[in-house]
Structure 1
Amino acid sequence: MDTELARTFLTVVTAGNFIAAAERLHVSQSTVSTRIHTLEQQLGCTLFVRNKAGATLTPAGRQFQRHASTLVRTVEQARQDVGIPKGFSGTLVVGGRIGLWEEYLLRWLPLMQAAHPDILIRAESALEPEIMQGLVEGRIDIGVMYTPQSRPGLKVEQLFDERLILVSTDPKSAPEPQPGYVYVDWGPEFYARHSAFFPSFTGPSLTANVGWLGLQHLLDNGGSGFFAYRIVEPLLKERRLHAVNGAPEFSLPAYVIYPTDRQVEHMSGAIELMHNLADALAKPSAETPSKKRAARKRR
């Protein structure tokens, strides 16, 4: 079977419809439809039911998904194994959100290299859909993200809770979005809670899908926005940013996702190091200025 057909099938599963799958694969919708039709002819069954909601897997499609993932992963693993440079015994591809590389995965990297010096590591940064697609296809071994999707053959484990606080370049900023507010898309759960706290908010003039991008804009041009405390903590100490008094805080869990059928030593070691680092970073239990003030008031 042509692995391109299996990849297209898995992309439709992840994207939810043929149109979005075509955009991700950079091909036309008719090409995606032709590939799926060819695959269905080879298998002798219908894989998707197409309706207004998108493309839904049939029972046969759900059964084939497991085999398609194994097929693509096996081919990808073979490609990586053949291409391992001399002096290394294996490879590990880690995909993570750029915000999770900052102050977390970048600390994990040297720990992993010290524990497994014979493993060639490929570090990738992407958003959740791309990381999930890579995991399903087998191109990515371990994913670290905020909003994972449940997929057969993939295990999801929580690493830590990200604390998102409202910061501003104005030390007297009001505890709600003001002119110059940057909305960072931290995912659907953040959007729902943000909307509940600020029901009259009509929308930002600037939206960023990556926290780093929004933060750089903030530092260069002024304004406010919700960012991970572990990342803005140094800027708060330098007084380049200020925690906004009275503003809500949001909790955003970070997860590690990996295939359950690849229990090799360096993968389990990598995941264990991620958990250990997450626990170590959580132990100091650093508090935001607003929480420290509240604690003093309670005393």
Structure 2
Amino acid sequence: MQIELLETFLDLMETASFNRTAERLGVTQSTVSARVQSLETALGRKLFTRSRAGTQATAAGQRFADHARLMRHEWNEARRDVRNAGDHARALRIGLQNELATTHLSRWVAEFRQAIPDASFYVELDYSTQMSSDILIGELDMAVLFSPRHIPDIHYESIGEMRYVMVSTEAFTVAELRPERTIMTNFSPAFGKAHRQMLPELASAPVTAGHTVSVCELLTHLGGSAFVHDHAARDLIDRGICRAVNGVEPILQPAYFAVHVRNRHSHVHRKLLSIVRRDFAPPPAPAQAQSSA
């Protein structure tokens, strides 16, 4: 079966529109119709009905959707493995939340290579939504991310939390924080919401950033106040650039290990999960604010 048929079917399940699917795939509407007809002929069942109300999947189409997603995933996984493994026994593609790169990337890759020496590794830094989509279609084998999408075909496991503290080049207490001198941080939708709920008076801050490295650069060169992860906070404080802000509670950002459901019990994936979970040690005690005296 041609992979284009599956891609067209799954896109049509999402859009419920032959016109929209044709636009998204860059083909004509007649091509979409022909591909759907080819699938229906092969399966011996009608997959969609079309009316003025739109395109609806039949009961057969709904049943076929799970199989189609799995076949697409296996095809992409097989294509990657054959193309990218080279002289290694297997090729593993790993997605990592951008925010985790500076604190975990090198250590994890070193341990991955030691644990699975016959594998080649490709590491891609991205954001949660894209990584979940890539796992779903078989472009990634696993990911460590901040925001699970709760897609039925993806298995998520909690592995720990990142701890973020408010630091400042100028403020000692929460009362001294000023919106115009604050960098809003948005490491995930949940984090941004927690930030706004905790400190609503700072929501009008003129600058927003979603990566601790970028926030540290802004604090170093422009000054101000912002949440950064605890490791970076201690570095800024040790270098005399910032101080911890009294009266502001830390924000905890959960992290998750994500794999396709067909791989949730895979020996290789469980081994990688154990490395990630072990390395996600409990955070150190909060950095103490310096006295203004």
Q: Bin the TM-score by the shorter chain.
A: 0.7 to 0.9
Structure 2 partner of 1:226 = 227
Query: For the structure 1 residues 61 and 178, does the alpha-carbon distance in structure 2 shift closer, same or farther, using more than 3 Å as the test?
Result: farther
**Structure 1 segments unaligned to the other structure (5+ residues):** 294-299
Structure 2 partner of 1:93 = 93
Structure 1 partner of 2:279 = 277
Q: What aligned pairs does 1:40-59 form with structure 2 within 5 A after superposition?
A: 41=37, 42-43=39-40, 44-46=46-48
Structure 2 partner of 1:199 = 200
Instruction: Work out the CA distance in 1 between the residues paired with 2:34 and 2:244.
Output: 57
Q: What amino acid is the match of 1:286? A: P
Q: What amino acid is the match of 1:250? A: I
Structure 2 partner of 1:155 = 155
What do the CA deviations read for 1:217-264 (whole angstroms, capped 9, x no partner)? 222221221121133322222222221111122111111011121344
State the TM-score, normalized to the length of structure 2.
0.79
Instruction: Work out the CA distance in 1 between the residues paired with 2:182 and 2:136.
Output: 36
Instruction: Work out the CA distance in 2 between the residues paired with 1:30 and 1:118.
Output: 37
Structure 1 partner of 2:179 = 178
Q: What amino acid is the match of 2:215? A: G
What do the CA deviations read for 1:144-164 (whole angstroms, capped 9, x no partner)? 111111112321111111112
Structure 2 partner of 1:267 = 269
Structure 1 partner of 2:284 = 286
State the TM-score, normalized to the length of structure 1.
0.77
What do the CA deviations read for 1:21-79 (whole angstroms, capped 9, x no partner)? x8xx9x94584894876665534324999x9xxx9988766544422332222222222
Instruction: Work out the CA distance in 2 between the residues paired with 1:47 and 1:209.
Output: 44
Structure 2 partner of 1:73 = 73
1:290 is displaced (CA, Å) by 4.3
Query: For the structure 1 residues 96 and 225, does the alpha-carbon distance in structure 2 shift closer, same or farther, using more than 3 Å as the test?
Result: same
Query: For the structure 1 residues 17 and 160, does the alpha-carbon distance in structure 2 shift closer, same or farther, using more than 3 Å as the test?
Result: farther
What do the CA deviations read for 1:265-284 (whole angstroms, capped 9, x no partner)? 32221111111212xx22xx
Structure 2 partner of 1:215 = 216
Structure 2 partner of 1:165 = 165
SS in 2 for 1:275: helix
SS in 2 for 1:81: helix
Query: For the structure 1 residues 6 and 244, does the alpha-carbon distance in structure 2 shift closer, same or farther, using more than 3 Å as the test?
Result: farther
Q: What amino acid is the match of 2:261? A: T
Instruction: Work out the CA distance in 1 between the residues paired with 2:80 and 2:49.
Output: 30
SS in 1 for 2:241: coil
Task: Pick which of 141-150 and 28-37 moved more.
Answer: 28-37
Q: What amino acid is the match of 1:154? A: I
Instruction: Work out the CA distance in 1 between the residues paired with 2:132 and 2:178.
Output: 32
Q: Percent identity?
A: 21
Structure 2 partner of 1:255 = 256
Query: For the structure 1 residues 64 and 190, does the alpha-carbon distance in structure 2 shift closer, same or farther, using more than 3 Å as the test?
Result: farther
Query: For the structure 1 residues 29 and 89, does the alpha-carbon distance in structure 2 shift closer, same or farther, using more than 3 Å as the test?
Result: closer
1:18 is displaced (CA, Å) by 8.7
* Greater C-alpha Rg: 2
Q: What amino acid is the match of 1:220? A: H
Task: Pick which of 257-266 and 173-182 moved more.
Answer: 173-182
Task: Pick which of 142-151 and 225-234 moved more.
Answer: 225-234
1:214 is displaced (CA, Å) by 2.8
Preserved CA contact (<8 Å) 1:165 1:229 = yes
Q: What amino acid is the match of 1:238? A: R
Q: What amino acid is the match of 1:128? A: S
- Residues matched between the structures, number: 279
SS in 2 for 1:92: strand
Q: What aligned pairs does 1:126-141 form with structure 2 within 5 A after superposition?
A: 126-141=126-141
